[in-house]
Amino acid sequence: MATISSPGIGSQLDVNDIVSKVMAAERAPAENRLNRQEATLQAQISSFGTIKSALSSFQSSLTKLQTSSTFEGKVTDTGQSTAFSASASSIADLGSYDVEVLQLAQSHSLVTAEGQFDELDDVVGGGTLTFSFGTTDYDPATEVDPESYNSFTTELDRASQSVEIAADSTLEEVRDQINEAEIGVTASIIDDGNGYRLSLSSDSSGENNSLQITVDEETGDGADNIDTSGLSMLAFNLSATNLDQTTAGQDAMLEVNGLTISRESNSVTSAIHGVTLNLLQTSESGSEKLNVTQNSETPVDAVKSFVESYNSALSSLSSSSAFGGKDGSSGVLLGDSAVRSAERQLRQILGDVLTGVGGGYNSMGDVGITLQRDGTIDLDETVLSSAIEDDVVKVGDLFTTYADKIDGVLDGMLESNGGLIESRLTGLSTRLENLNDDRASLTKRLSALETRLYRQFGGLDTLMAQLQTTSDYLAQQLENLPKIGGSK
């Protein structure tokens, strides 16, 4: 800010103080006006932000109403069963079923003989391991009978897989090379207290996914591929059973309504239409009940969420544009056309009677939703539950149709390019940015005024100094004039 370093020398006026007060008088009204405009715009932007958030949440609540599984979903009840659990899709057949788990599916597992490896870095050897998948007819040795490898039937849908094992590979390296090949077999090392043992397990359960392992040590001597030294200690086939079988490949077996069913996996997806059974253990006391019923809780919850989100959105719109309030103050968006339009469109949709839906459910009132005087909606859960029990598909069609219409309207409000709410937010933000230009212009104008005032007061000060000098001179001259009638 410009100042005069020695103001008032000629005029004896406090020029800095005078200019400061003049500038304050000029600045205050303009700054107050800009501050009021900025506060109003900020409040309007904030209010539209709240409205946008509420409308977005409302739109999100429509998703469940637009999904057929919300209304057509089925639920399962297995009582206190520890043998199995169950889940149902929307296509599941309703009914009650008797389920008994007879046998769980298992993956074929083999392990090296006891005492073969003392350290993880013991050398196994090198060559080629070939894994075939199929059904193994094998009886492990017992105290009474010797082991008997009777046959192996290859699963035609699964090709054999080979793994190249580098020469002189250690126990750890053999494990890693098998796992890195990703052929459907998992290798692991187990410490049984008497040394380390390599375990090989089929990744897929079921008797048709058992393992046959052949070895090619590439020594030129076929006998080396079935003996118990080097890589051949991993052979498990008709010629050599150098691995111990710890778990036989086994199918799951269960009875559903007295019918015996077998599957490779403990996740049984097609025994009951649309139902997945997860087998946990064999049944201890015969068959247990599985009930598949219509899911009425999920659609009721979805409709309740819709009602709450709608009312929240309407509350944001109404409070922002209300005339007067509990404290007597009006909403910052009073009279805003975008807000009025949004309220009008949403209320109109919920009051529409739909055609072509059928089933006697054509309006929100038919399913327990009524429009209140203040624009909000109220849900009668008893009426809704009764309608769902009567014809859940038709009720779902009604809500889906309404939700689709509302979703389209909300898209028009919220879309980033030209949407009703977004356009208003963009316009307000632009006006807020323009205030910065107005402030800059005000600063420039006031600076020019201040400079002019100091220049004018500076000229006045100089003139007053000159006049004072002239006055002093004249007074001195007058003092020196001879007095009339007196001596000099």
Q: Which of 316, 251, 368, 297 shows the shortest CA–CA distance to 74?
A: 297
Q: Which of 233, 260, 294 is the last residue of a domain?
A: 294
My answer on whether 256 and 113 are in the same domain is no
My answer on whether 397 and 318 are in the same domain is yes
My answer on whether 290 and 240 are in the same domain is no
Number of domains the chain is built from: 3
**Is the residue at 488 inside a domain?**
no
Q: Which of 247, 278, 313 is the last residue of a domain?
A: 247
**Is the residue at 59 inside a domain?**
yes
Please state the pTM of the whole predicted model. 0.66
pLDDT of residue 418: 72
**Is the residue at 487 inside a domain?**
no
My answer on whether 441 and 451 are in the same domain is yes
- Domain that includes residue 430, residue range: 1-73+301-476
My answer on whether 134 and 92 are in the same domain is no
**Is the residue at 484 inside a domain?**
no
**Is the residue at 199 inside a domain?**
yes
The side-by-side arrangement of strands in the sheet containing 84-88 is 84-88, 275-279, 267-272
Each of the 488 residues of the chain gets a pLDDT tens digit; together they read 555 455 555 556 677 777 778 777 777 787 778 777 777 778 778 888 888 888 888 899 899 999 888 888 899 999 999 999 999 998 999 999 999 999 999 999 999 999 999 999 999 999 999 999 999 999 998 888 888 999 999 999 999 999 999 999 999 999 999 999 999 999 999 999 999 999 999 999 999 999 999 999 976 555 678 888 899 999 999 999 999 999 999 999 999 999 999 999 999 998 999 999 999 999 999 999 999 998 889 999 999 999 999 998 888 887 777 665 555 556 677 777 788 888 888 888 888 888 766 567 888 999 999 988 888 899 999 999 999 988 888 999 999 999 999 999 888 888 877 778 777 877 777 887 777 777 777 778 777 777 777 777 767 767 776 777 777 778 887 888 877 665 55
pLDDT of residue 485: 62
List CB contacts of 65: < 8 A, sequence separation 6 or more. Answer: 302, 303, 306, 399, 400, 402, 403
pLDDT of residue 140: 92
Q: How far is CA 31 from CA 24, 26, 35, 91, in A?
A: 10, 9, 6, 68
pLDDT per residue as tens digits for the range 259-277: 999 999 999 998 999 999 9
pLDDT of residue 4: 47
**Is the residue at 256 inside a domain?**
yes
- Structure tokens, 261: 């069913």
Q: Which of 389, 372, 390, 369 shows the shortest CA–CA distance to 381?
A: 369
Q: Which of 182, 216, 247 is the last residue of a domain?
A: 247
pLDDT of residue 198: 98
pLDDT of residue 329: 59
Tokens 């600076």 identify what position? 447
My answer on whether 273 and 317 are in the same domain is no
pLDDT per residue as tens digits for the range 282-321: 999 999 999 999 888 999 999 999 999 999 888 888 777 7
My answer on whether 60 and 9 are in the same domain is yes
My answer on whether 272 and 370 are in the same domain is no
My answer on whether 96 and 128 are in the same domain is no
My answer on whether 56 and 83 are in the same domain is no
My answer on whether 46 and 150 are in the same domain is no
My answer on whether 236 and 115 are in the same domain is yes
**Is the residue at 483 inside a domain?**
no
**Is the residue at 61 inside a domain?**
yes
